[in-house]
């Protein structure tokens, strides 16, 4: 049996994207997950590939790089993952800094187009007439996160990599101070390097590996309506305060509205952010707040049935930036996590960046803002 | 001390009455206009006068001992919202027919046995003139009997062998009067036989009736003209609220102790959600759970005895009416599994072949269980078929009965702030 | 129902009234356009959906009509209004 060059711990979209890029660079990769493949945080989101919600800075740079990478990557994978470049529409019903925000984003390379309310109603016929300002973001897209995770992992397997769902990583075995093997509940896996990509569980796993980083869970809940006729909601539509909610870590519950339809005809309504640890029980106030705001944006939804709610835990670092790179305390140990609610969109560039760092290739985006040894992350 | 009982069938009624007798303030939440549940349909039951009955009311979510209820016409956006805080909750949400899919089962004119029963007993309406009742279990007989009452011509096909439960020592004293009522069905019942396909363009016009081996593989079949088919292969518990509250399950039912307490403090369960056993057992369980929920000083001894007896009988019943895997051979690649999202057997296999090998992923990739019924109809069969193809149980099969909203409601209803119930 | 007046006995559901009148199906599915009527009859399967007073996704087997309700067949996914 040949040992892998790299073991990736975590088969969510970030782990899958890292494994795909590493295997594309010619490395032999094994992916471990304590559970089924792609069934954690990646299976509990909307599939956002967004630039509209990001202020100028390192995360926007990563998002733009990822947005550029996704279409080629999907073509290489040759899989249907419900990629839909539907575009985003941010609207405001009151005083707003929307246009100034868009101006700054445009300077950073985002296609952000302020439009009139009348133009917004052309784009979204059911939108509330209370809208006074709107910005159209044609670059925003959506994909089906579970399908894309499966497609990335399938590519790893085609290149000779190994997928091992149901195998729990317990720690590392070191030789001369560097990673020599991953210890698992199914025996040791000798390897040259290990990537921890366990999303909100990266804190726990990195601690077990002796190199703890601070990554915390925030719960997000999404409502799903009964199927509606095609074209009821055409873009990813959100109210202007979404941006503030994503960027902030202050309150224990934040809600802002994101409304969009899926290939199946249902409408997804996000998005809440709760700091409740890993508690998955339902608090009715959360879906209630989501419902109230969604009906405010699209009054026609008031009489539409809600079929279900689903929730997941999004990983965030204290400074709300992803964590991508080598662990300075342990040669051969790498991290890729902390993407909060943006991991699906950021996965393509994250995987490429990590593979570049591992193989010593010049990174295609500046890796320094995401380094592991920054304040607050390396405990 | 306030006890809220969810479900107005035999278990819920008995629980409400017992809790009221023990001195608790009792609220009985039931989605129907009349009490009695599926079993007493058409013969309205009365609760203890001290019980506050909320008819046409659906408990759509539970947050611990706080229940969220809407009252008014089914699926109307104009129902009244209510929040009920309880010191103890008794879940008696019952069960619905389990139906195993077969080609054509989605044609109009194919009904569950429970649907035929509800229409006949509740409304005096026959689903057809020439009706075949097919499946397994003792429920097929009362359904056939109700169909005869409303003027239908009925044939009953029991897929298993000799009805073993009738020979059980407990069956004779307990069930003899019932059996006598079904005497007129003698000669209309065929054993080891089933409807394995339904045919027609926009409604069922004929079925394939097949003789089965003990594992339910098909020996041979003939086409029979019908106007309606009623199918039932046992029952599936309605676990939405119990699962939402985090109650432990065992073998697909809510795990309860001797007095009906679940694993969640203050939450009790009774009736079919704790195991399929029929109305008498459900009522006994309800009485015990209602008394325990209201902290009655003395447990109802007779009911406890009835539970022990009833559970032995239920176990014998279940053993006599298995649903073996030979049924998978009835399916074709284009047979619908998920009626809502129109997912076929072939689609399911394709999703499994794409690596969707756990419950949550299988739902998202195949779309089975994502439609309006949220997998209530197909979930169990999808999990079974997946297990058969994978060669091991489907991991996270619970994904098919996790439903944070026990019933759908309108977004505008969800958005409203209901008054707290005084 | 679909423009035709119905006298429905007190307490009878829309589904029971339609079946009593000889109708077997009154909905079409959104993907295949398949006809559907009652299946489970007790509010579980959501096959028997109708539009009541402009509101879609109403279970005919659960809904007892009020005098003057306007009911019609549901075709696939529909928007309220």
ipTM of predicted complex: 0.96
B77, B405, B417 member nearest A308 (Cβ): B405
Residue C75: name the closest of C22, C42, C32, C44 by CA.
Answer: C32
Q: How confident is the model at residue A251 (pLDDT cuts 50, 70, 90)?
A: low
For B311, counting Cβ atoms within 10 Å of its Cβ (0-12 exposed, 13-18 middle, 19+ buried), the class is middle
How many helices (H) and strands (E) chain C has is answered by 1, 5
C30, C55, C81 member nearest A227 (Cβ): C30
In this structure, the answer to whether residues A14 and A51 fall within a common structural domain is yes
Residue A81 lies in a domain: no
Model pLDDT for residues B45-94, shown as the tens digit of each residue: 888 999 999 999 999 999 999 999 999 999 999 999 999 999 999 999 99
Query: Does position C54 have pLDDT exceeding 80, yes or no?
Result: yes
In this structure, the answer to whether residues A49 and A173 fall within a common structural domain is yes
Q: Determine which of B43, B59, B105, B118 to mutate to test the interface with C (most C C-beta atoms within 10 Å).
A: B118
Rounded alpha-carbon distances, angstroms, from residue A16 to A337, B59, B201:
12, 41, 46
Residue A379 lies in a domain: no
Q: Looking at A279-288, B24-33, B339-348, C31-40, which range is the least confident one?
A: A279-288
Query: Residue A197 belongs to what domain range?
Result: 6-75+145-214+319-370
Q: What is the mean pLDDT of chain A?
A: 92
Average pLDDT over residues A299-326: 95
In this structure, the answer to whether residues A309 and A166 fall within a common structural domain is no
State residue A257's pLDDT score: 83
Query: Does position A252 have pLDDT exceeding 80, yes or no?
Result: no
State residue B96's pLDDT score: 96
Query: Does position B130 have pLDDT exceeding 60, yes or no?
Result: yes
In this structure, the answer to whether residues A228 and A333 fall within a common structural domain is no
Average pLDDT over residues A91-104: 86
Q: Determine which of A303, A306, A307, A308 to mutate to test the interface with C (most C C-beta atoms within 10 Å).
A: A303
Residue B82: name the closest of B58, B63, B47 by CA.
Answer: B58
In this structure, the answer to whether residues A128 and A11 fall within a common structural domain is no
Query: Does position C44 have pLDDT exceeding 70, yes or no?
Result: yes
How much of chain C exceeds pLDDT 90, in percent?
94
In this structure, the answer to whether residues A298 and A341 fall within a common structural domain is no
State residue A263's pLDDT score: 83
Chains that touch C (3 or more CB pairs under 8 A): A, B
Query: Does position C68 have pLDDT exceeding 80, yes or no?
Result: yes
Strand partners, B111: B230
Average pLDDT over residues B112-121: 94
Whichever domain contains A240, its CATH number is 3.30.9.10
Model pLDDT for residues B211-267, shown as the tens digit of each residue: 999 999 999 999 999 999 999 999 999 999 999 999 999 999 999 999 999 999 999
Average pLDDT over residues A310-328: 95
Q: Determine which of B343, B355, B386, B394 to mutate to test the interface with A (most A C-beta atoms within 10 Å).
A: B355
Chains that touch B (3 or more CB pairs under 8 A): A, C
Residues of chain A contacting C, Cβ within 8 Å = 226-229, 232, 265, 300, 302-305
| Bridge pairing between strands A141-142 and A169-175 | unpaired
Query: Does position A293 have pLDDT exceeding 70, yes or no?
Result: yes
Query: Does position A248 have pLDDT exceeding 60, yes or no?
Result: no
State residue B419's pLDDT score: 60
Query: Does position B97 have pLDDT exceeding 70, yes or no?
Result: yes
For C37, counting Cβ atoms within 10 Å of its Cβ (0-12 exposed, 13-18 middle, 19+ buried), the class is buried
Whichever domain contains A35, its CATH number is 3.50.50.60
In this structure, the answer to whether residues A254 and A220 fall within a common structural domain is yes
Q: What is the mean pLDDT of chain B?
A: 92
> pTM of the prediction?
0.93
* CA angle, residues B112, B117, B119, in degrees to nearest 5: 100
* CB-based burial, B389-405: b 16+ in 10 Å, e otherwise: eeeeebbbbbbbbbbbb
Q: How confident is the model at residue B170 (pLDDT cuts 50, 70, 90)?
A: low
Residue A162, classed as helix, strand or coil, is strand
Model pLDDT for residues A119-153, shown as the tens digit of each residue: 999 999 999 999 999 999 999 999 999 999 999 99
- Find the farthest-apart pair of alpha carbons in chain B and give their distance in angstroms, rounded: 63
Average pLDDT over residues B373-387: 95
What is the spatial distance between Cα A23 and Cα A195, in angstroms, rounded to a whole number?
Answer: 13
Residue A271, preceding bond cis, omega within 30 degrees? yes
Residue A83 lies in a domain: no
How much of chain B exceeds pLDDT 70, in percent?
95
Residue A310 lies in a domain: yes
State residue A264's pLDDT score: 86
In this structure, the answer to whether residues A15 and A35 fall within a common structural domain is yes
SS3 string of A229-269? Answer: CCCCCCCEEEECCHHHHHHCCCCCEEEEEEEEECCCCCEEE
The alpha carbon of A181 is separated from its chain's Cα centroid by a whole number of angstroms, namely: 28
Residue A152 lies in a domain: yes
Q: Is A150 on the interface with B (CB under 8 A)?
A: yes
Residue A1 lies in a domain: no
Residue B77, classed as helix, strand or coil, is coil
In this structure, the answer to whether residues A192 and A306 fall within a common structural domain is no
Average pLDDT over residues C33-52: 96
B348 — phi, psi (to 5°)?
-65, -45
What is the spatial distance between Cα B162 and Cα A28, in angstroms, rounded to a whole number?
Answer: 60
Chains that touch A (3 or more CB pairs under 8 A): B, C
Q: How confident is the model at residue A80 (pLDDT cuts 50, 70, 90)?
A: confident
In this structure, the answer to whether residues A225 and A259 fall within a common structural domain is yes
State residue A2's pLDDT score: 78
Q: Is the dihedral of CA B104, B105, B107, B113 positive or negative?
A: positive
Model pLDDT for residues B174-193, shown as the tens digit of each residue: 555 666 677 788 788 999 99
Q: How confident is the model at residue A171 (pLDDT cuts 50, 70, 90)?
A: very high
CB pairs under 8 A between B and C: 113
Average pLDDT over residues A230-246: 79
Of A274, A298, A316, the last residue of a domain is A316
What is the spatial distance between Cα A354 and Cα A361, in angstroms, rounded to a whole number?
Answer: 10
CB-CB neighbors (< 8 A) of A300 in chain B: none
State residue B422's pLDDT score: 47
Asked if B119's CB is within 8 angstroms of C19's CB, the reply is yes
* CA angle, residues A146, A152, A157, in degrees to nearest 5: 120
Quote the number of domains for chain A: 2
Given a contact cutoff of 8 angstroms between Cβ atoms, the answer to whether A235 and A124 are in contact is yes
Given a contact cutoff of 8 angstroms between Cβ atoms, the answer to whether A353 and A324 are in contact is yes
In this structure, the answer to whether residues A128 and A20 fall within a common structural domain is no
In this structure, the answer to whether residues A54 and A153 fall within a common structural domain is yes
Average pLDDT over residues A253-269: 87
Asked if B68's CB is within 8 angstroms of A305's CB, the reply is no
Residue A80 lies in a domain: no
Query: Does position A278 have pLDDT exceeding 90, yes or no?
Result: no
């Amino acid at each position: 049996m040949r040992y892998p060059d790299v073991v990736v711990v975590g088969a969510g979209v970030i782990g899958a994207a890292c494994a795909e890029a590493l295997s594309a660079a010619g490395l032999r990769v094994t992916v471990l997950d304590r559970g089924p493949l792609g069934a954690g945080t990646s299976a509990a989101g909307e599939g956002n590939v967004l630039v509209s919600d990001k202020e100028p800075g390192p995360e926007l740079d990563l998002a733009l790089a990822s947005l550029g990478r996704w279409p080629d990557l999907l073509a290489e994978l040759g899989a249907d993952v419900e990629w839909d470049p539907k575009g985003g529409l941010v609207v405001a019903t009151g005083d707003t800094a929307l246009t100034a925000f868009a101006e700054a984003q445009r300077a950073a390379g985002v296609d952000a187009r302020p439009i009139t309310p009348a133009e917004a109603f052309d784009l979204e016929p059911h939108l509330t007439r209370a809208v006074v300002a709107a910005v159209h973001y044609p670059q925003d897209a959506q994909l089906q996160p579970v399908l894309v995770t499966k497609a990335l992992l399938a590519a790893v397997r085609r290149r000779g990599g190994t997928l091992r769902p149901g195998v729990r990583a317990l720690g590392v075995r070191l030789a001369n101070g560097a990673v020599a093997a991953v210890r698992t509940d199914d025996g040791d896996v000798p390897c040259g390097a290990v990537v921890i990509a366990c999303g909100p569980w990266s804190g726990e796993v990195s601690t077990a590996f002796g190199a703890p980083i601070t990554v915390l869970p925030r719960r997000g809940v999404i409502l799903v309506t009964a199927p509606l006729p095609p074209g009821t909601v055409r873009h990813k539509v959100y109210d202007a305060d979404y941006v503030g909610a994503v960027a902030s870590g202050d309150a224990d519950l934040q809600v802002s509205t994101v409304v969009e339809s899926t290939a199946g005809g249902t409408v997804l309504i996000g998005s809440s952010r709760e700091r409740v640890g890993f508690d998955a029980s339902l608090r009715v106030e959360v879906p209630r707040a989501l419902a109230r705001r969604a009906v405010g944006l699209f009054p026609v939804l008031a009489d539409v049935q809600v079929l279900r709610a689903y929730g997941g835990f999004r990983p965030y670092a204290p400074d709300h930036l992803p964590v991508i790179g080598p662990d300075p305390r342990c040669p051969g140990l790498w991290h890729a996590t902390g993407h909060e609610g943006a991991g699906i969109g950021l996965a393509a560039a994250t995987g490429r960046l990590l593979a570049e760092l591992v193989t010593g290739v010049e990174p295609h985006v500046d890796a320094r803002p995401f380094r592991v040894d920054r304040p607050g992350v390396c405990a | 001390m306030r006890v809220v009982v969810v479900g107005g069938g035999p278990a819920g009624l008995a629980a409400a009455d017992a809790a009221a007798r023990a001195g608790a303030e009792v609220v009985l939440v039931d989605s129907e206009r009349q009490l009695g549940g599926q079993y007493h349909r058409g013969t309205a039951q009365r609760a203890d006068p001290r019980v506050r009955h909320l008819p046409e009311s659906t408990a759509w979510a539970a947050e611990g001992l706080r229940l969220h209820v809407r009252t008014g016409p089914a699926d109307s956006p104009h129902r009244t919202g209510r929040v009920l805080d309880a010191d103890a909750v008794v879940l008696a949400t019952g069960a619905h027919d389990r139906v195993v899919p077969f080609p054509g089962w989605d044609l109009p004119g194919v009904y569950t046995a429970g649907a035929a029963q509800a229409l006949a007993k509740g409304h005096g309406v026959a689903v057809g003139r020439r009706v075949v009742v097919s499946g397994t279990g003792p429920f097929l007989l009362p359904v056939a009997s109700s169909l005869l009452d409303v003027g239908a011509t009925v044939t009953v096909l029991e897929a298993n062998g000799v009805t073993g439960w009738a020979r059980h020592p407990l069956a004779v004293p307990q069930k003899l009067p019932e059996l006598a009522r079904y005497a007129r069905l003698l000669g209309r019942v065929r054993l080891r036989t089933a409807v394995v396909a339904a045919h027609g363009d926009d409604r069922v016009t004929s079925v394939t009736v097949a003789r089965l081996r003990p594992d339910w593989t098909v020996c041979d079949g003939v086409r029979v003209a019908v106007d309606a088919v009623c199918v039932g292969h046992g029952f599936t518990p309605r676990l939405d609220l119990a699962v939402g509250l985090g109650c432990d399950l065992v073998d697909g039912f809510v795990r309860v102790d001797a007095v009906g307490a679940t694993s969640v403090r203050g939450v009790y369960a009774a009736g079919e959600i704790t195991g399929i056993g029929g109305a008498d057992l459900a009522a006994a369980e309800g009485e015990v759970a209602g008394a325990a929920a209201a902290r009655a000083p003395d447990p109802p001894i007779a009911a406890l005895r009835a539970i022990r007896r009833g559970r032995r009988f239920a176990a014998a019943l279940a053993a006599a009416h298995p649903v073996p895997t030979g049924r998978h051979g009835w399916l074709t690649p284009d047979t619908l599994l998920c009626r809502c999202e129109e997912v076929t057997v072939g689609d399911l296999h394709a999703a499994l072949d794409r690596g969707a090998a756990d419950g949550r992923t299988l739902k998202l990739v195949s779309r089975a269980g994502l439609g309006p019924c949220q997998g209530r109809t197909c979930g169990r069969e999808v999990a079974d078929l997946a297990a058969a193809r994978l060669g091991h149980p489907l991991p996270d099969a619970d994904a098919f009965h996790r439903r944070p909203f026990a019933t759908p409601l309108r977004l505008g209803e969800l958005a409203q702030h209901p008054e707290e119930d005084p | 129902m679909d423009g035709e007046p119905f006298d429905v006995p007190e307490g009878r559901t829309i589904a029971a009234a339609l079946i009593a009148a000889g109708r077997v199906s009154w909905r079409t599915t959104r993907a295949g356009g398949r006809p559907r009527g009652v299946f489970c009859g007790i509010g579980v399967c959501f096959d028997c959906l109708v539009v009541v007073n402009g509101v879609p996704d109403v279970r005919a087997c659960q809904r007892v009509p009020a005098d003057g309700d306007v009911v019609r067949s549901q075709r696939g996914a529909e928007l309220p209004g």
